[in-house]
Structures are given as C-alpha cells and as structure tokens.
C-alpha cells in the first residue's frame, strides 16, 4: 500500500519575510538557533486543536521507498522533539507503515518518542496522533476493525488515539466490505478509543456517503486526507475541498511536496534512490514552469522552495503533513509557518501548475 500511495489561520502575519531569531530547544541536550516560526495558533479539527501543519511519518520504518534503517531512530527522535518544541502537535501515521518485519514500526516509534519526550508536559499532553487503519481484505467485520484500533493503541502505548482514520475505501473493488469498516469507525468512536474519526483517499461521492452515514449514527466526520499539492490539484481535489468546506470537514493534505519533486533538489539527471526514481524520471521533465515559479517566489521572499509549496497548501485552507525523517527537513518545513503568500503569488503558482504538462499520479485507491 505504501508504495502505491505515490501520497491557519487569519492570525498569521501577511509578511513573507522574517528576520528575527530566538533560541528554541529541540531536546534537553541540544539548542538550535531558529526563527520564531509562527504565533502558536491552532486549527480546530472537531473536538481537537492542532497545529496548522502536521508531520507525516510514512518514512519511519519504510525501507523500500525511503531507505529506513534502525540506526536512524536517534535522529528521528531529535526530529520529533524539535517539532513538538516548536508547536507542532499533529503527527500522522498508519498501522501499515513499515515494510516487512517492520510493519507498524512508525506507530511504535511515535509512541516511544512521546513517552520519552522531556520538554514541557503541556506540549507532551497536547500531542495529537492521527493514525490510519488499513482496509485489509481480512478485516470484514466492525469487530475486526475495532481490533485494529486496539492494536494501534497497544503499539503506541497510549490511552486514546486523536484521529482514527479509514486508510482507503474499498468501494472500487469490495463494496460490501465498506459498511463494516464504517461501522468499525462508529464503534471505536463510541467506545472512546478515538477522539475523532476521518477518512483517507476518499473521492467526492464516497466522502458525502460516509459523512451522511456517520452523521445518522451521531458520529461527526472530522477529517478527509487526500493527496493535495501544486503537483496534484485537479478537479477531484478541488471538489473534495469544496465538499469539506461545506460540511465542516478539515482537509489534510498528504504529499504536499509531491514525494520531493517540489523541493528543487532533484533533476532528470539527479534522481532519488529507490522506486521514486522511476516516477521522477517521468514527471520532472514536465515541471519546469512550476519549479521556476517556486524558485522565483522563494528567492524573492528569502524562503526555500519546499517552504513556499507547503505554505501554498496552508493558504488553500488545508493542513499539510509533509514527511520528515531528519532534523534538517524539520527545520526547513517549520519555516513554512508564520507568514502567508500574497494573492498574486498564489495566482502565479497556480498558473505555473496549469502550464506544467505533468501531474502527480493519483492513488489507485482513490474513489470517486
């Protein structure tokens, strides 16, 4: 599944530039000199208050696509500490994250890092874990889906999950399984195992169906997670965003950097290692207009291309969850907060995206 998933507020300052700096600890043993990224405002997600950007943990435990090794765990923990110290309290994971024997590793690491966090207790208490439960073919009953939720709680060694999400819809290939999974979401909510429920990879029609189904059972659908970026903003994404806005569902944007294609770090002659290289080789040659616009705006505002791409997602009213696996990546992503692109810059980026002939491949589990 992981390989196939090739997956705010008005208080923000309107200025793109930020020159002041302060010392903020990423861990008790290390001080990093960082800018004041944002004014610690939160976004409402149902009963929860979360940071306007979260961090994704798909790479934690994934050897195939992201080259994970257990020797990385120390830096992953430093990365987590840095994020929490700087106000990030939303972390997205899944029970299927981790390849082979490492299945579930992402959840295990998150739970460990939360327990061992030595910063302010208030920050530790406010952490929101959003995990996704896979619609495996052997999960055929609400009880089996409920068991999956309990297994995630056990792996993370936490009392309650912040947002429990159905990882994908089975409507495309096993429609009879779908209702059981929906009933599983209702059960985990009613039993207090999760504070809120959401979905991932749901298209417009299925999104409305599950919203109505859950509402009739007294369970609000709080989030919808889809691939959303300058590289993948098509008619379906815009329709999903409009539905979310009208129904009070918060849209979580996964792959806001297009698996790294919007970072400016790769070219057709400088590709990433592993399976991503095949995809990059197909798409990168058609991204010149978009990458040029990102670079121009970044240079003008003393930002980086990833920061501009993530900030675009925030300006569109979504909660982006860029993946992180190093302190350097976390520092850079944090720089996407505390400022807003101008309306002219938004238009420039969206025009460049339309002029770029290549787009991101959509998740095969995305429904209509």
Catalytic residue list: 97
Give me the residues paired with residue 56 across strands.
92, 323
Residues 6+ apart with CB under 8 A from 325: 59, 60, 66, 68, 72, 75, 76, 79
Q: DSSP for 98-146, please give it.
A: S-GGGTTHHHHHHHHHHHH--S-HHHHHT-EEEEEE---TT--SHHHHH
Maximum pairwise Cα distance, the chain: 56
35 closest CA partner among 27, 24, 46? 24
Our measurement of the distance from residue 114's CA atom to the centroid of its chain's CA atoms, rounded to an integer in Å, reads: 18
Give me the residues paired with residue 31 across strands.
25
Residues 6+ apart with CB under 8 A from 151: 95, 104
Residues 6+ apart with CB under 8 A from 246: none
Give the orientation angle of helix 142-156 with respect to helix 105-116, to 10 degrees. 40
Distance (Å, rounded) from C-alpha 344 to C-alpha 52?
A: 22
Question: 250 with 223: CB under 8 angstroms?
Answer: yes
């Amino acid at each position: 599944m992981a390989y196939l998933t090739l997956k705010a507020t008005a208080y923000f300052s309107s200025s793109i530039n930020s020159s002041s700096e302060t010392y903020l600890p990423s861990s008790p043993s290390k001080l990093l000199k960082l800018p004041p990224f944002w004014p610690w405002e939160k976004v409402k997600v149902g009963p929860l208050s979360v940071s306007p950007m979260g961090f994704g943990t798909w790479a934690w435990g994934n050897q195939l696509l992201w080259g994970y090794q257990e020797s990385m765990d120390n830096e992953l923990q430093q990365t987590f500490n840095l994020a929490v110290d700087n106000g990030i309290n939303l972390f997205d994971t899944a029970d299927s994250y981790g390849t082979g024997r490492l299945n579930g590793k992402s959840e295990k690491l998150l739970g460990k890092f939360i327990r061992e966090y030595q910063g302010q207790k208030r920050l530790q208490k406010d952490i929101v874990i959003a995990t996704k439960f896979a619609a495996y073919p052997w999960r055929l009953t609400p009880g089996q889906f409920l068991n999956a939720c309990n297994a995630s709680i056990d792996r993370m060694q936490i009392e309650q999950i912040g947002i429990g999400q159905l990882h994908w819809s089975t409507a495309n290939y096993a429609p009879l399984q779908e209702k059981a999974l929906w009933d599983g979401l209702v059960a985990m909510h009613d039993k207090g195992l999760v504070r809120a429920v959401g979905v991932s990879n749901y298209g417009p029609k299925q999104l409305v169906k599950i919203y109505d189904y859950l509402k009739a059972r007294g369970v609000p659908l709080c989030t919808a997670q889809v691939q959303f970026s300058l590289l993948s903003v098509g008619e379906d994404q815009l329709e999903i965003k409009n539905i979310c806005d009208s129904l009070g569902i918060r849209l979580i944007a996964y792959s806001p950097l297009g698996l790294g294609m919007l970072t400016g770090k790769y070219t057709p002659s400088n590709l990433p290692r592993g399976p991503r290289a095949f995809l990059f080789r197909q798409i990168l040659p058609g991204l010149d207009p978009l990458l040029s616009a990102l670079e121009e705006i970044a240079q003008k505002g003393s930002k980086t291309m990833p920061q501009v791409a993530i900030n675009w997602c925030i300006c569109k009213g979504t909660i982006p969850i860029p993946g992180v696996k190093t302190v350097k990546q976390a520092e850079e992503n944090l720089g996407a907060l505390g400022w807003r692109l101008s309306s002219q810059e938004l238009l420039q980026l969206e025009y460049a995206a339309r002029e770029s002939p290549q787009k991101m491949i959509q998740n095969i589990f995305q429904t209509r």
